[in-house]
Amino acid sequence: MKEKEVIQTLDDIRDMMSKSSRFQAVSGVSIIVVGVYACIASILGYLFIGAPDMLPFLSGRQDVFQLNTPYRIRLACLLAVGLFVLSLATVILMAYAKARRHDLRFVADKRMLQMAFNFLLPLAVGGLLCMALILQGHYGLTSSIMLLFYGLALVNCQHYTYPVLRFLGYAEILLGIIDCFSIHYALLFWFIGFGLLHILFGIFYITKYDKVK
């Protein structure tokens, strides 16, 4: 009987240490939802770069589909920014809901602000770099820069939440590096990195951390 008590005590200690120091409210379902958004966005992107006729609101506007017209770039940027905002909002709202449900902490304390800063800094740097490259007419590396900096952002905030997050980060970085060296497949890498990897990681996350205790 004593053995059970000791095991229970050690479990309690471990729980309390991670509950107090790590941000556990991110919901696994929201990771999957973000992956699905990204899949839809890259399919949309593919359609209006590769096959604009299939989109009703663009059919008959062939004139604007000369390669790399500013109009199309603007559309693509709008899509990417929209996706980012929507994803961030989804993750935050669902994290808030999960925190309410499981009585987890969801306060803008020092740790949470540090986590947000560590996550957003690489993203902001990567975003500005992408913008600069696009403005100067270099479109080729956009998707790999997004993957690379997103991966770095994930690795950078592993200490504030579940450390397995870094493996998603490593995968994104690896994909970004491969993407650097290959041409023509930007949207495919984008689809895998932001879509499929999120969905897979979300499923793993749910089985491992989202179980109700």
Query: Using CB under 8 A as the criterion, which residues of the chain lie in contact with other proteins when the complex forms?
Result: 2-3, 5-7, 9-10, 12-13, 16-21, 105, 107, 109, 111
At closest approach, how far in Å is the CB of 7 from other proteins? Answer: 7
- For the bound state, the minimum distance from the C-beta of residue 4 to other proteins, rounded and expressed in Å, comes to 10
Task: Return the number of the residue (7 or 89) whose C-beta is nearest other proteins.
Answer: 7
Of 105 and 166, the one with the shorter C-beta distance to other proteins is: 105
CB closer to other proteins, 102 vs 138:
102
Nearest approach, Cβ of residue 2 and other proteins (Å):
6
149 neighbors 125 (Cβ within 8 angstroms): yes
- Token look-up 């590096």 returns 177
Is the distance from CB of 185 to CB of 179 less than 8 angstroms? Answer: yes
Residues near 159 by beta carbon (within 8 Å), at least 6 away in sequence: none
What's the CA angle centered on 120, arms 161 and 98, to 5 degrees? 40
Task: Establish how many alpha carbons lie within 13 A of residue 146's alpha carbon, considering only the half-sphere containing its beta carbon.
Answer: 22
Nearer CB in complex with other proteins: 19/101: 19
CB of 107 to other proteins, least distance (A): 8
Q: Select from 111, 121, 190 the least CA-distant residue to 153.
A: 121
Q: How far is the CB of 199 from other proteins (least distance, A)?
A: 32
3-state secondary structure of 123: helix
Q: For residues 115 and 168, which CB has a smaller minimum distance to other proteins in the complex? A: 115
